[in-house]
Amino acid sequence: MREKYLSVPEVAELLGTTERFPRRLIAERRITFVKVGRHVRIPESALTAFIEAHTVEPIRPRRRSRRVA
């Protein structure tokens, strides 16, 4: 299976952000990217890994125990 490479505008659209955010991730080396000449592409698997690594799971509410006096 072949890897799909996404442009910065495509990544921004998938994340629901402006292009500035994925560009900052690239500049800070916080996401894997590939340079093809002057073009920058982000592998779809790297975007998926980034999202999974930064996903925060909800906390289950504690069950309140009744104290009997």
| Domain definitions of the chain by residue range | 5-53
Distances from the Cα of 55 to the Cα of 34, 45, 51, 58, 68, angstroms: 24, 15, 6, 10, 40
pLDDT tens column, 15-51: 999 999 999 999 999 999 999 999 999 999 999 999 9
Over residues 45-68, mean pLDDT: 86
Question: What would the two tokens of residue 55 be?
Answer: 């996903």
Q: pTM for the complete prediction?
A: 0.78
The DSSP symbol for 38 reads T
Helix (H) or strand (E) holding 53: helix 44-53
